[in-house]
Amino acid sequence: MDWMSQLHTEICQAEQEKEHLVQENESLEQLLASNEAEFSNSQRKYDTRIAVYYARIAALRREREANGNSMEDKISRLESLNNDNNMKLQTVTRRIEFTKELQQNQNRMDPRKFPAEIRETILKFLLVEDMPICVSSKREHKKTRNLALFYTCKQIKGEAYGIFYGKNVFQVDPKFRVWGTSFICRFSAYLKHIKVHVDSRTSIPDLLQDIQRRDSQLQSLCIQISGVPTYRGSQKPSTLGSLKFQTPSSLQKIEVSCSATTMTAELKKACSILHEVLAKGSYESRDQVLRCSGKKSSARKRQRL
């Protein structure tokens, strides 16, 4: 019996140990499962952090490359700006040196201090032309001229005006306007030689009024007629006989010619009437001349009686 009881107790102890081991195994399995879950969570967090780190590293690399390119661009811009500043500095330096030389040579290079004969020779060389200067609104007559001397100083401008408008021959269109006035009226104080083209649309009274201004310095006048001008609503040459003209004292040469391809009797008569008006101040027809001569002869006879 002792043996049986001892065996029974050993079996009970073994079962208790077995239960204890089973419980420990279950607890170990639970601990293993929790550890595996925790490990998987940690692995996921680690992978996420690694991905974030790699993304940050790539962004930093891109930023470094961009900063490197921007720095290179900034450096190139600064170099070009430095070159531009150096060029501007050299230009300013040359201007300062040139200004100093001008100040040193001002007395020797000032044209206003040249003798009047030398100034006149220089201005004639620059401003006087061999051919007549066309003054018209037509484009084919336009020619660019360097008239910068008119904007230097008051003295040179006055002398240049006198030579340019006084020594050149101007072929003027009476219908051309300069700031609202005719060219002849605008520069009557300087013009000395003009050629005027007259046609049926030309206003003869306005033309004569511009020529006979008080400040007129005109010396030679050439009128070319291509058509009988309209006067007082009529285009007959006889109507031009009523024109009156006060010849300027400076006017020495008067020419009236026909520029038409065919010379008609009306054009010829208009030329002769206009020439007499310009030369004598008025026109007297043959009948008026005969009447005047008859009156003079009768007056002489009366005086004799």
Mean pLDDT of the chain: 80
For the cut 80, the answer to whether the pLDDT of residue 218 exceeds it is yes
* pLDDT at 141 exceeding the cut of 60: no
Cβ contacts of 125-129, under 8 Å, gap ≥ 24: 127/160, 127/163, 127/164, 127/167, 127/168, 128/163, 128/164, 128/167, 128/168, 129/168
Question: What pLDDT does residue 144 have?
Answer: 62
Q: Which of 209, 219, 215 is nearest to 243 (CA)?
A: 209
Which stretch of DSSP H or E encloses residue 70? helix 2-104
Residue 190 and residue 275 in one domain: yes
* Region for 179 from its dihedrals, namely left if φ exceeds 0, alpha if ψ lies in -120 to 50, beta otherwise: left
H/E stretch holding 255 reads strand 253-258
**Residue 43, domain member (yes or no):** yes
Distance in angstroms (rounded) separating the CA atoms of residues 212 and 197: 17
* 175 and 298 housed in the same domain: yes
Give the chain's domain count.
Answer: 2
Residue 292: band (very low, low, confident or very high) from pLDDT cuts 50, 70, 90: very low
Q: Is the pLDDT of residue 296 over 70?
A: no
If one compares 233 and 203, the residue with the highest pLDDT of the two is: 203
Cβ-contact 196, 172 below 8 angstroms: yes
Distance between CA atoms of residues 15 and 139, nearest Å: 130
The residue ranking higher by pLDDT, 178 or 254, is 254
Q: Are residues 173 and 266 in the same domain?
A: yes
Answer positive or negative: Cα dihedral of 203, 206, 212, 215.
negative
Which is more confidently placed, 240 or 222?
Answer: 222
- In this structure, the answer to whether residues 179 and 269 fall within a common structural domain is yes
- Flag whether 197 is in a domain: yes
Instruction: Mark which of 84, 109, 134 sits at the end of a domain.
Output: 109
Considering the domain boundaries, does residue 145 fall inside one? no
Contacts of 215 (CB under 8 A, 6+ apart): 188, 189
Q: Do 100 and 175 reside in the same domain of the chain?
A: no
Q: Which of 109, 125, 146 is the last residue of a domain?
A: 109
- Tally of CB atoms within 10 A around 267: 18
Q: Which residues of 108-118 are buried (b: 16+ CB within 10 A; e: fewer)?
A: eeeeeeeeeee
d(CA 194, CA 179): 20
Judge whether 215 lies within some domain: yes
Tell whether 3 and 100 lie within a shared domain. yes
Number of Cβ within a 10 Å radius of residue 80: 10
pLDDT (tens digit per residue) in 24-43: 888 888 888 888 888 888 88
Domain that includes residue 220, residue range: 169-304
Helices (H), 105-197: 106-109, 116-127, 154-167, 183-186
End-of-domain residue from the set 87, 109, 131: 109
Percent of the chain at pLDDT above 70?
A: 87
Of 157, 164, 156, nearest to 129 by C-alpha is: 164
Q: What share of the chain is helix, strand, coil (3-state, %, to 5)?
A: 65, 10, 25
The residue among 236, 239, 230 whose CA lies nearest residue 207 is: 230
Domain co-membership, 175 together with 91? no
Mean pLDDT over 77-86 rounds to 84
More confident residue, 4 or 173: 173
| Low-confidence winner among 130-144, 156-170, 214-228, 255-269 (lowest mean pLDDT) | 130-144
Q: Is the pLDDT of residue 235 over 80?
A: no
Judge whether residue 145 has pLDDT over 50.
yes
Instruction: Please indicate, yes or no, if residue 156 is contained in any of the structural domains.
Output: no
Residue with tokens 């904007």: 151
Range in 35-39, 139-143, 233-237 the model is least confident about: 139-143
**Within a domain: residue 39?**
yes
Do 282 and 245 meet the contact criterion of CB atoms below 8 Å apart? yes
Any domain includes 119: no
Residues 104 and 199 in one domain: no
**Residue 174 domain-assigned (yes or no):** yes
Q: At 204, is the pLDDT very low, low, confident or very high (cuts 50, 70, 90)?
A: confident
Average pLDDT over residues 165-187: 85
